[in-house]
Amino acid sequence: MNRRTWRKVVNGVMLGLTGVCALATVSVLFFILGYLVLNGGRYLSWTFLTHLPVPVGETGGGMANAIVGSGKLLLVAAGVGLPVGFMGGVYLAEFGGRTFPFLVRYTADLLNGVPSIVMGIFAYTVVVLPMHSFSAVAGGLALGAMLIPIVLRSTEEFMRAVPRSMREGALALGANKWRAIATVVVPAAIRGIATGMLLSLARVAGETAPLLFTSFGNPYWSSGFRQPTSSLPVMIYTYAISAYDDWHRQAWAAGLVLLALVLAANIGARMILSRRMSSARG
């Protein structure tokens, strides 16, 4: 084989291989999705969504408390994480000089990379130790701390995307800076900001590690926010590593519910954003 053909062969083979890599990666998602729908769908029922777990040995029961518990945890997380992330994002986009915003951005990126289990330890030392009890507050706080950097960066990005001319217009009409921000810039960016928040919630909704020793678990309903609270991801974990077939079936069903929620939030966010882009371009 002469050199020319050899180079052509290498070209074809290597480019083909990159395609195989892409295909393999993409197919993993479809495999996961398909497997969960097939396997979890069989065990998903109305009882599963509306009943409490039953003791080992009895079949049936559900995870209603874990679904509500996850909701509670997300509520606490949203209460902590969304305002801090949003206001911080406004600061980065509209105020600030050179060094401090850089520090904030850099810290946010690093905070974003902190392993979630370490966030759990943090919430444990700050909330569980002083309160002497596992609680929804502790779990929610761990998740909330994880929300902050994500919301911060997406808020900043979408506010920066608002055209200068809109700010100038508001100022020309005599508005203060803060009025221009509150009545013109934020409303113009609100869809993007809300989408960022939705995505951040979807991301922490699936977190298990930070909840293991903060919100812990609870086989019953938990009242209020100061008691141990069960959540879907922790239930999936406990049920999946157990030795009972019936619990495995429940874990598959719970996995399907969790994955469906997370993916629906992601796809929904994407659709909101793309509609906004196309309408902005006319």
Q: How many residues does the chain have?
A: 282
Residue closest to 109 by CA, chosen among 88, 128, 124, 129: 88
Residue 56 or 129 with smaller CB distance to another protein: 129
Instruction: By CB under 8 A, name the one of 66, 76, 180, 253 that touches another protein.
Output: 180
Q: How far is the CB of 54 from another protein (least distance, A)?
A: 21
**Amino acid sitting at position 134:** F
Query: Are residues 77 and 147 in contact, defined by beta-carbon separation less than 8 angstroms?
Result: yes
Residue 267 or 280 with smaller CB distance to another protein: 267
Site string for another protein, 15-34 (x = CB under 8 A): x-xxxxxx-xxx-xx--x--
Question: What is the DSSP secondary-structure string of 91-125?
Answer: HHHHS--SHHHHHHHHHHHHHHHS-HHHHHHHHII
Q: How far is the CB of 265 from another protein (least distance, A)?
A: 8
| Residues that contact another protein, how many (by CB under 8 A) | 105
Q: How far is the CB of 22 from another protein (least distance, A)?
A: 4
Candidate ranges 49-57, 58-66, 69-77, 153-161; the one touching another protein (CB under 8 A):
153-161
Instruction: By CB under 8 A, name the one of 55, 57, 113, 130 that touches another protein.
Output: 113
Q: How far is the CB of 184 from another protein (least distance, A)?
A: 12
Q: How far is the CB of 186 from another protein (least distance, A)?
A: 11
- Provide CB contacts within 8 A for 183, sequence distance 6+: 170, 175
**Where are the alpha helices (H) located in 95-206, listed in sequence order?**
99-113, 116-123, 129-131, 136-160, 164-172, 177-180, 186-205
Pick out residues in 204-243 that bind another protein (CB under 8 A): 205-209, 212-213, 216, 233, 236-237, 240-241
Q: Is residue 82 involved in binding another protein (CB under 8 A)?
A: no
| CA pair distance 93, 165, nearest whole angstrom | 15
Candidate ranges 49-57, 61-69, 79-87, 186-194; the one touching another protein (CB under 8 A):
79-87
| CA pair distance 259, 30, nearest whole angstrom | 12
